[in-house]
Each structure stands twice: as C-alpha cells, then as structure tokens.
Chain A
Amino acid sequence: MPDRKVSVRSIRRWALFAGAVAILASCESPIPENVHLKSVNERKATPDFALKDATGATVKLSSYKGKVVLLNFWATWCGPCKIEIPWFMDFQKTYKDRDFAVVGVSMDEDGWDAVKPYVEQKKMNYQVVLGNDQVSQLFGSIESLPTTIVIDREGRIASMHIGLVSKSTYQKEIEKLLEAPRDVPKTGAVRAAGSEFAWLRSN
C-alpha cells in the first residue's frame, strides 16, 4: 500500500510538471499585456508637432483634434516595431470610422530613402511622418523604439509604452478611450501652454 501512495504522488507530481511544461511551451516568449490608462486627472496635454509626410505635406498632431490617436515612434531597423505595424494597420482599418487614427513617426536617420520603400512594401495604411530630435525631446527624449503613446480625444496622453507590448493591450486601451464619454469643454478651462496644446482649445 505505501508503494501505491508513493506512485500516485509521483504520478501527480509528473502530471503537474507536464502541465506546467505544456503551458510554458504554449506561451513561448510572451509579449506582456500592460493595460494602464491614466485617470483623466493624471493625463497631461500632448505636445504638438508639425512633421512632413512622404509627399512633403505638413502633418500637425493637433489636426487630429477629437480623435483617439495611437502615436507610434518606430524605425525600419527596429525588429520589435515591425511586429506591431500589422497590428496598427488592423486598428486603423477597424476603428477609422470611430474617430481613431494611427500616426507613425519614423526615427530613421536615412529619412525617406529608407522609410518610403518600407511603407510602400508593407502597404502601411496609416499616416507616417518623419521624426527628428526636436520631436523626440518634446516627448522626453525617446531613446527606445518602439515607443507608443495613446492619446485621448481631448489630446491628453492616456498611456505611454516603451518597447513591445501585446496587441490586446493597445486594443483594450483604444476601445476604452473610444467608449469614454467626451469631455464637455469649459471656457478657459483648457488652454495651450508653451509648446503643449490640448484638443479642446477653442479655435
């Protein structure tokens, strides 16, 4: 009888071990989910910028007033960025009719010579502009790519992710922001300060 107890215990132990191994195998190199939208009171106004697109046209971030924006700093040499690009294309397609937009800011030193062929090859369906050091400084000196900022309809930074996070993280954040009630503007309550702006600034 004691032998039988030992063997049942041993089988259980092996079954637990095998289960753990199976779970680990199924989640090889997990991309972390890190949904953390700041509360409305904690959100700061997004700095505005004006950057050029591939056609030479100027794109102002403040022109996305009233939309939820996923602002992605990336580069063609950045592997993890390339994992996210198809996700962002998917978001652009899914949410574009719900006041949502993706804006990609390429930090490639070689400029459009490197970026334009990549954008065309991957058929990127969202706005891509060429970044620079000044814009990087506006966002606290962006060193690591990808860095992605999710902006609420009022032009405030709702979350910032340094490095690759899961697609579901972004998806949940975007959906929460799209579902959130719009702020009612109060006269003089939100105004631009320095280079910063808020979407609710009256024109």
Chain B
Amino acid sequence: MLCALLAVSSLGFVPINAVAQTNVLLVPKPDPVAAKAGTTVEVRLPLQLREGYHVNTNKPPDPYLIPLRLTWDAGPITASEVLYPKPETLKVEFFAGLLPVFSGRFELITRFKVAPSVQPGLVNVAGKLRYQACNDRMCLPPKVIDLTLPVSVSR
C-alpha cells in the first residue's frame, strides 16, 4: 500500500486499468501508393499501441510467445521483404534476460516488387497483421487484422 501510494504520489505513476481493453493497437487504413511497373516500392505502416501495452517482436526469444507478423498475399505486386524496427527491451519476471518488444508508435516497412507485366491502374494488395498484446498484468488474445493496400500502377 505504502509502495503504491509513494509510486503514485511521487512519480506521477498511472496504474494500468485492470479492465480488459481489447482494441489496443491502432492500425490505420493504408494510404494509396503510386508505383511504376517493374520497380520496387517501399510502404510504411505506422502502428500505435495503447500506453502500457506491448507486442512481441517478429522473432520473440521464447517459442511460446506469439510474434508480430505482417504478411501480404502473393500476386503481380509481391512483398519481397518486411522490415521490423529495432525493439526495446523489457525486464519481465517470466523470462530470464531482457524481452525484446515493440510499444508506443512504431512502423513496419514492406518492400514490394511490382512485376513489369502489371497493367497500369489500381491494384489492391491484401495483407494480414497478426499480433498479440500484453501489459505487465495481462495479455489479450492474438488478433489478425485484414489490410488492403491500394497501389496505383503506372508505366
């Protein structure tokens, strides 16, 4: 009790609400992208987690943890690489060492190859973002968010 009072009063600490908050990751609708046939285009997906929450990295060190994963359907516009940011680390009781995680605002970058044969016009690329979020007291079930990236292809 004393600890809690001191923490709240002296450090301005805001305890995380123990009530379930299921939508903790803000994923904006991807903006349309312009690309030329036969080139590579880089697309940024900005994400924002609710304060106090984190998600695992794409390569969590514990095999039981669920990785953050952004995937895109194959087609004439193909994701050749997904780049994840540098994680921060957390000291947690259930894992020996420091746990790499993403929190706050961060971006995932996808490099798409636009096939030379793609006809000019609008191509929608479908993707999925899978994540599983926790705070220091609780975890939410894994979620998959469907994404659609509109790509305006020109010659």
Contact = CB atoms under 8 A, between A and B. Distances in A.
Contact of B136 (A20, A29, A78, A109): A29
Interface residues on B, range: 20 to 34
Contact of B94 (A24, A83, A118, A145): A83
Main DSSP-derived SS at the B contact region:
loop
Interface string B77-107: 0000000000000001111000100000000
Interface in A13-54: 20, 23-24, 26-27, 29-32
B7 A79 contact: no
A143 B22 contact: yes
A138 interface: no
Given A80-B94, A162-B19, A24 B6 contact: yes
A94 interface: no
A144 B134 CA distance: 9
A143 B137 contact: no
A78 B140 CA distance: 8
Dominant secondary structure of chain A at its interface with chain B: loop
Nearest to A136: B141
Contacts of B92: 79
Nearest to B9: A20
B136 A32 contact: no
B2 interface: yes
A164 B141 contact: no
A28 to B, nearest CB: 9
A78 B134 contact: yes
Contact of A23 (B3, B15, B136): B3
- Residue in A26, A31, A78, A82 with the greatest tally of chain B CB atoms within 10 Å: A78
Nearest to A17: B10
A132 to B, nearest CB: 12
B117 to A, nearest CB: 39
Interface of B: 2-4, 6-7, 10-11, 15, 18-20, 22, 64-66, 92-95, 99, 132, 134, 136-142
3 closest cross-chain pairs (CB), A and B: A27-B3, A163-B138, A82-B94
Given A77-B65, A144-B20, 19 more contacts: A24-B3, A24-B10, A29-B136, A30-B7, A32-B18, A77-B64, A77-B142, A79-B65, A79-B92, A79-B134, A79-B139, A80-B136, A109-B142, A144-B139, A144-B140, A145-B138, A146-B138, A163-B18, A164-B137
